Amino acid sequence: MRYRKLGRTNFEVSEIGYGAWGIGGSMWLGGADDESLRALRTALGLGLNFIDTALAYGDGHSEQLVGQVVRGAGKRVYVATKVPPKNQLWPARPGIGIDRVFPYSYIIERTERSLKNLGMETVDLQQLHVWNPEWLDRDDWRRAAEDLKRSGKIRAFGVSINDHQPDSALELIQTGLIDTVQVIYNIFDQTPEKNLYPLCLERNIGVLARVPLDEGALTGTIDENTRFDPSDFRAGYFQGDRKKQVAEHVAALKLDLAGVDGNLPEIALRFCISHPAVSTVIPGMRTVKNATANCAVSDKGPLDARTLAILRRHAWDKNFYD
């Protein structure tokens, strides 16, 4: 496993991190706590030392599992979590004030609840789970971040950028008030490379690359016949003719990648760590099998220029979260 600095925090984090949404037990079907715990422990044993969770993942259940494993890990593990929007709207909506989404007292109280779930006195990184640039000059989130750091309840503060809106955080980064950003970045959505990543490198902002496998689209296992339980998040994400679209795009991608070493998920993760702005990529891995495969990707290192040039041609302008 290779390690990188998480921006100006100077945390040395594994370039393959653990995305803990799926182990929360809601919106993703097919997982079980015992397998989730084994997957977490397997990943830590393979050198992974960064876990990204959130209070909203199973109403704290993901945090509880993460805390259980981290407390018994016997090594330094960095934990990031997130404050859910008070109005429960993902992504943030234009025109809705921060007093309805992240009032000062709410950020403090939710952080304390996350710490209780985790069984920790300090969380390494607290993030706002959505962001609206209209809140830039509001005092609520600024005071909360400062007071949480001052009290020792958090070490760093960042935001999780709204789906497919990487430029919405540019002004925020320029304030110098945040340490990290979390953003969608994968072979299909390469938009952070244009403006966000250059600014993050310039300002030494840590980058958490999320959804590296596009919710499963880049595993190469989804086709028109794939079925998801109606309560599974992916049933909505891949609704209508979207599975057909995915299958067509993936088929074209695989054709162009003929002769390139590695399977599609491995190449997709290596694509993310090939960009110098990325501090860590956080795929979900609810099974020991996936944890083992994903952690092994780090040893392969970044992709070569020829393969990256191929992947550049497969950027896809879409938003399946709508």
What are the boundaries of each domain within the chain?
A: 3-312
What tokens were used for 261? 């070493």
Question: How many angstroms separate the CA atoms of 14 and 16, rounded?
Answer: 5
Give me the sign of the Cα torsion angle 276, 280, 284, 285.
Answer: positive
Beta bridge pairs of residue 180: 158, 206
Q: What is the CATH architecture assignment of 3-312? A: Alpha-Beta Barrel (3.20)
Mean pLDDT, rounded, for 175-190: 97
pLDDT at 25: 72
Return all residues near 267 (Cβ < 8 A) that are at least 6 apart.
Answer: 187, 257, 260, 303, 307, 311
pLDDT at 229: 83
Instruction: Assign 30 a pLDDT band (cuts: 50, 70, 90).
Output: low
> Is the confidence at residue 88, as pLDDT, over 90?
yes
User: What predicted TM-score, i.e. pTM, was given to this entire model?
Assistant: 0.96
pLDDT at 239: 92
> Is the confidence at residue 5, as pLDDT, over 80?
yes
Mean pLDDT, rounded, for 1-8: 98
Mean pLDDT, rounded, for 261-279: 97
Question: How many angstroms separate the CA atoms of 227 and 145, rounded?
Answer: 42
Mean pLDDT, rounded, for 104-123: 98
> Is the confidence at residue 180, as pLDDT, over 90?
yes
CB 159 within 8 A of CB 182: yes
Torsion of CA 50, 60, 179, 311, to 10 degrees: 60
CB 123 within 8 A of CB 114: yes
pLDDT at 230: 84
Strand 154-160, strand 180-184: pairing? parallel
CA nearest neighbour of 208 among 22, 76, 17, 10 = 17
> Is the confidence at residue 148, as pLDDT, over 60?
yes
CB 218 within 8 A of CB 264: yes
3-state secondary structure of 134: helix
What tokens were used for 108? 């403090």
- 109-113, 129-133, 234-238 — which is least confidently predicted? 234-238
> Is the confidence at residue 236, as pLDDT, over 80?
yes
Mean pLDDT, rounded, for 150-163: 97
- 18-27, 61-70, 259-268, 271-280 — which is least confidently predicted? 18-27
Average pLDDT of the chain, as a whole number: 95
> Is the confidence at residue 29, as pLDDT, over 90?
no
